[in-house]
Amino acid sequence: MPLGKSQLAKPLLRRILSALMSSQPLKIYLDGEIVPENEAKISVFDHGLLYGDGVFEGIRIYNGRVFKLTEHLERLYDSARAICLTIPISIAEMEQATLKTVAANGLRDGYIRLVITRGVGSLGLNPYQCPKASVIIIASSIALYPKERYETGLTLITCGTRRPSSAALSPQVKSLNYLNNIMAKIECMQAGCEEGIMLNEQGFVAECTGDNVFIVKRDQVTTPPISSGGLDGITRQTVIALLSEMGITCREAVMTRYDIYTADECFLTGTAAEVIAAVQYDRRPIGDGKPGKLTEKLIAAFKVYANAHGTPVTY
């Protein structure tokens, strides 16, 4: 049945409204209020600024839906609990605040950054001198890698910077102190690469600077266990479930650089990265040096799934 003029106009109208909204200053949620980005300010005495004392989450918006919102919020509150940080609003209130911020910015596709800081305190380390945590929600756009890399694949190196011991801070805590990852990212950029493999103290593969890593070898998919020092990513979990739907079991196993050197395919997963192929590692081609067939199939499956699932935003 042919579409009427009004039906054809709706997608066009949404694109026009989205373009108009994107040219406007962002609206930020800050401690219970939606404010223009130039008014979204925190104190220089906030321990999030002074010491990286706080936690965060990154969440995607697809087709007017917030992807895996419940899972991300549960992880945010778990991270806060792990560092004895009390978030001043409930999960239900945080969900509504997140959806409200997305709607205020008119975003149908984009990225959300939830930030919880310890709050204002003294110049000393004592977190109990910070009476109340601050809640910041940013909804905008993100492009972690150049668009063409999703077609040609990424180049990786081994980072000299290693992941901290899990005995120091659990890798499951998404802390505001990301200096470890930033130092590894600097190595990647100085080497002319977009990403790098980070090893744990024992020299086993943990994760990338911001993504989880998977390999394919003789149709077997493998990823490092979270005990190796990587984050149990929500995109990682989604991809494992999608592989299962394809009839492919993903095993968790301790990995070395050799396993990536000799893999048939390699791909990375993350909220910002989504799913992307890696085609070269330490100047060695992975497989034939092109994105593999399973990786391409998984990228397509993830796009379909992500665009059809999520918590709807009321605009």
Q: Which sequence positions are flagged as catalytic?
A: 174
> What is the 3-class SS of 205-224, one letter each residue?
EEEECCCEEEEEECCEEEEC
| CA dist list (Å): 210 to 37, 61, 286 | 26, 19, 20
Torsion angle, alpha carbons of 260, 72, 114, 309, to 10: 100
Label residue 82 exposed, middle or buried (CB < 10 Å: 0-12, 13-18, 19+).
Answer: middle
Q: Of 182, 252, 179, give the one whose Cα is nearest residue 213.
A: 252
Residue 108 makes CB contacts below 8 A (sequence gap 6+) with 14, 18, 61, 63, 64, 313
Label residue 225 exposed, middle or buried (CB < 10 Å: 0-12, 13-18, 19+).
Answer: middle
- Distance (Å, whole) CA 233 – CA 172: 9
Q: Of 51, 64, 185, give the one whose Cα is nearest residue 118.
A: 51
